Amino acid sequence: MGYVERTLGFRTRDLDDRDLRLVTDIVGGTIRWRRYLDHLIGSLCHDESMFRSMEPLLLQVLRIGFYEIVKLNMPPYAVVDENVKLAKVALRPGAGNMVNGILRKLVLVKENNSLPLPKLEGDSRTQARALATLYSHPVWMVRRWTKYLGQEEAIQLMMWNNSDPSFSLRANAAKGITRDDLVMQLNSLKVPHEVSLHLDDFVRVKIGLQNVIRAGWLKEGLCSVQDESAGLVVSVVDPQPGEDIIDCCAAPGGKTLYMASRLRGKGKVHAIDINKGRLRILKETAKLQKVDGVVDTIHADLRTFAENSPMKSGKVLLDAPCSGLGVLSKICVGIED
């Protein structure tokens, strides 16, 4: 999980399920659509300098209001009223007046179907900039994808990145938790879910992840958030009790921990990583999930470790660091970052 999810879990404990889902959507959506929202805000300011000099907190209030009106289609005048109040409380009365003026402009142009958005025309560079704004992606990424995939497929990929992601939970067999146990607990929390079609320990969750966090299951190590693609990698390794397995570039350790749970307390997973801090977290999580007895963390640079270490194993997993583009829809940060 990213910083945003952890922060929301900490700050939204007293919200009911409906409000919690809305807060999660607004926070994730304003981050995901930041380039698009900033273009609209800048277009409706008096001039460019007004937008460029805008206070960060004021800009964030406007992003929230624009997202609620344009993407969530919430009642516009209720959105204006609430965000004006927010600006006055968070900043000062004058800020509320500015928010009121800009949001009312947005309501007017939206009702007239005249949102100030760029058109897909001109040369390839101009079109790339337009697509970058329309789908809130970096220009360089749009240019690369349109070059190799074509415009239509690039647009589909960007739409996928901007869609609401689903998450998977893995039941921790090392603590005696089965998928049926996890399903029963999800039912008790009224969290919509479906079992994985490919992995016996996994359950898919579209909404309600914050309820799981608040229930303390992750903190207690009863389950973990893990993508099914990572689980499929482990299924290929097929860890068996008694085996010694080397996991290269192991941190943050999701696959290490899943392999360790499948060893049933017999064998060893040697987790190698160059990042000492991330290895420390892996070690702590292994203890939490009761697999620390079969997890051995090794702080090393694999490029030299492989040459100098006498360690041998019948199974070696190398999931090398990559761009992360395949999981953009699940990373709640601005894609520019």
248 and 154, same domain (yes or no): no
Contacts of 44 (CB under 8 A, 6+ apart): 102, 105, 106, 109, 116
Domain assignment of residue 233, yes or no:
no
Domain assignment of residue 180, yes or no:
no
Number of independent structural domains in the chain: 3
What CATH number does the domain containing 58 carry? 1.10.940.10
> Among candidates 108, 80, 107, 75, which has minimal Cα distance to 96?
80
The rounded distance, in Å, linking the Cα atoms of 103 and 97 is: 10
* 174 assigned binding-site residue: no
39 and 89, same domain (yes or no): yes
249 and 280, same domain (yes or no): yes
- How distant, in Å, are the alpha carbons of 44, 176, 277 from that of 37? 11, 47, 36
* 247 assigned binding-site residue: no
- How distant, in Å, are the alpha carbons of 2, 41, 165, 193, 252 from that of 261? 23, 50, 26, 23, 16
Domain assignment of residue 221, yes or no:
no
Tokens linked to 130: 């337009």
**Cα-Cα-Cα-Cα dihedral sign, residues 130, 134, 140, 144:** negative
pLDDT of residue 4: 57
What CATH number does the domain containing 282 carry? 3.40.50.150
* 201 assigned binding-site residue: no
* 208 assigned binding-site residue: no
Tokens linked to 219: 């903190």
pLDDT of residue 324: 63
- Among 111, 133, 150, the domain-final residue is 111
Tokens linked to 112: 């007239």
Helix orientation angle between 93-111 and 56-70, rounded to the nearest 10 degrees: 30
* 238 assigned binding-site residue: no
64 and 128, same domain (yes or no): no
pLDDT of residue 211: 84
The rounded distance, in Å, linking the Cα atoms of 101 and 254 is: 48
Domain assignment of residue 83, yes or no:
yes
Tokens linked to 326: 């395949």
The rounded distance, in Å, linking the Cα atoms of 117 and 49 is: 19
- Among 81, 111, 141, the domain-final residue is 111
Domain assignment of residue 193, yes or no:
no
Tokens linked to 197: 């079609």
* 273 assigned binding-site residue: yes
9 and 105, same domain (yes or no): yes
10 and 79, same domain (yes or no): yes
Domain assignment of residue 33, yes or no:
yes
Helix orientation angle between 124-134 and 34-44, rounded to the nearest 10 degrees: 100
DSSP H/E element including 277? helix 276-288
* 252 assigned binding-site residue: yes
97 and 142, same domain (yes or no): no
- How distant, in Å, are the alpha carbons of 51, 143, 167, 229 from that of 38? 9, 20, 28, 34
* 253 assigned binding-site residue: yes
Amino acid at 300: A
106 and 143, same domain (yes or no): no
* 310 assigned binding-site residue: no
86 and 107, same domain (yes or no): yes
Q: By the 8 A CB rule, do 286 and 292 touch? A: yes
Domain assignment of residue 224, yes or no:
no
Instruction: Write out the chain's pLDDT in tens, 337 residues.
Output: 454 555 565 555 667 777 877 888 899 899 999 999 999 999 999 888 999 999 999 999 999 999 999 999 999 999 999 999 999 999 999 999 999 999 999 999 999 999 999 999 999 999 999 999 999 999 999 999 999 999 999 999 999 999 887 889 999 999 999 999 999 999 999 999 999 999 999 999 988 887 888 899 999 999 999 999 999 999 999 999 999 999 999 999 999 999 999 999 999 999 999 999 999 999 999 999 999 999 999 999 998 998 888 888 999 999 887 766 766 665 555 455 4
Domain assignment of residue 214, yes or no:
no
21 and 88, same domain (yes or no): yes
* Domain that residue 153 falls in: 124-161
Cβ neighbours, 10 Å, residue 2: 11
- What's the predicted TM-score (pTM) here? 0.75
pLDDT of residue 1: 45
54 and 145, same domain (yes or no): no
Cα dihedral 234, 235, 237, 241 in deg (nearest 10): 90
7 and 105, same domain (yes or no): yes
Tokens linked to 31: 């981050």
* 255 assigned binding-site residue: yes
